[in-house]
């Protein structure tokens, strides 16, 4: 703690454990148990709801919320007014050398890997796992209970609903939307998000319907609406999306 720089206006309401040194900015609030690796930087006006563990050399930007309480705990807090309800969930973990830019909200019960980069105002709901070296673009929403692999490139304004799987090395173009409710809340239906297999690429503004599997290495054209499973290494385009051609061999850079 000797080399740590904690602004006088920052508030620690719980237990802060620092492995080395850290920097904590103006008006930042840490609640519950917060463990920081060496050389962690938390900027101004951030709120951390423990239990939270943040790895070495990770940056947490201005006006971020880490470990945001889940719905159940918020409802209990409304009933009781007890602050302990806001730090009752399982912990949120953020790995080493990760960048969480200003305005991001990461819920409790989330696991973020090493060398992950978030754009601004990203929302990550509970029970989300994000692998190493993944990029998540500005204004993206990940609704929770989902798995995002390693080396994934998620562009800005992407929507990933509950119960989705995005495997390693996937590209999700800007403003593409994954969906999970086949009947748009008009009848009972078990929500099922899509499965995007390894190395698949989804073009800008494409829509992937519920419970659809996009095969390994497949490509979905910009603006397509995918209503059927797409086999591996095929290009599909259009509304509704249809087979266009096989992915050329020289298009596979991974």
What's the rounded Cα separation, in Å, for the pair 78 and 46?
22
Sketch out the chain's domains with CATH numbers.
Answer: 1-133 (2.160.10.10), 161-254 (2.160.10.10)
What pLDDT score does 30 carry?
97
What pLDDT score does 91 carry?
86
Nearest Cα neighbor of 88 from 100, 96, 77 is: 77
What pLDDT score does 1 carry?
44
The DSSP-derived string for 3-61 is T-EE-TT-EEEEEEEESS-EEE-TT-EEEEEEEE-TTEEE-TT-EEESSEEE-TT-EE-
What pLDDT score does 168 carry?
99
Nearest Cα neighbor of 94 from 47, 148, 132, 145 is: 132
Question: Which pTM was predicted?
Answer: 0.95
User: CB within 8 A of 33, min separation 6: which ones?
Assistant: 14, 15, 17, 50, 51, 52, 87, 91
Q: Going residue by residue through the chain, which has 254 residues, state the pLDDT in tens, using 9 for 90 and above.
A: 457 899 999 999 999 999 999 999 999 999 999 999 999 999 999 999 999 999 999 999 999 999 999 998 888 888 888 777 777 667 899 999 999 999 999 999 999 999 999 999 999 999 999 999 999 999 999 999 999 999 999 999 999 999 999 999 999 999 999 999 999 999 999 999 999 999 999 999 999 999 999 999 999 999 999 999 999 999 999 999 999 999 999 997 65
What pLDDT score does 148 carry?
99
Q: Does residue 166 contact residue 150 with C-beta atoms inside 8 Å?
A: no
What's the rounded Cα separation, in Å, for the pair 116 and 94?
9
């Amino acid at each position: 703690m000797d080399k740590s720089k904690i602004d006088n206006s920052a508030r620690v309401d719980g237990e802060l454990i620092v492995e080395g040194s850290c920097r904590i900015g103006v008006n930042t609030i840490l609640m519950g148990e917060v463990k920081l690796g060496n050389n962690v930087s938390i900027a101004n006006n951030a709120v951390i709801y423990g239990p939270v563990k943040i790895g070495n050399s990770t940056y947490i930007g201005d006006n971020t919320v880490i470990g945001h309480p889940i719905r159940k705990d918020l409802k209990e807090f409304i009933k009781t007014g007890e602050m302990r309800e806001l730090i009752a969930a399982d912990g949120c973990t953020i790995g080493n050398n990760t960048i969480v830019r200003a305005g991001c909200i990461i819920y409790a019960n989330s696991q973020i890997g090493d060398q992950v980069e978030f754009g601004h105002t990203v929302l990550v709901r509970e029970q989300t796992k994000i692998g190493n070296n993944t990029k998540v673009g500005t204004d993206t929403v990940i609704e929770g209970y989902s798995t995002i692999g390693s080396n994934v490139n998620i562009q800005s304004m992407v929507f990933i609903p509950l119960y989705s799987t995005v495997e390693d090395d996937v590209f999700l173009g800007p403003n593409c939307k994954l969906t999970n409710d086949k009947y748009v809340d008009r009848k009972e239906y078990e929500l099922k998000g899509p499965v995007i297999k390894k190395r698949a690429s989804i073009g800008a503004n494409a829509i992937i319907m519920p419970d659809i599997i996009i095969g390994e290495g497949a490509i979905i054209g910009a603006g397509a609406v995918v209503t059927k499973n797409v086999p591996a290494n095929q290009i599909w385009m259009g509304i509704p999306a249809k087979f266009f051609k096989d992915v050329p061999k020289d298009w596979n850079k991974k």
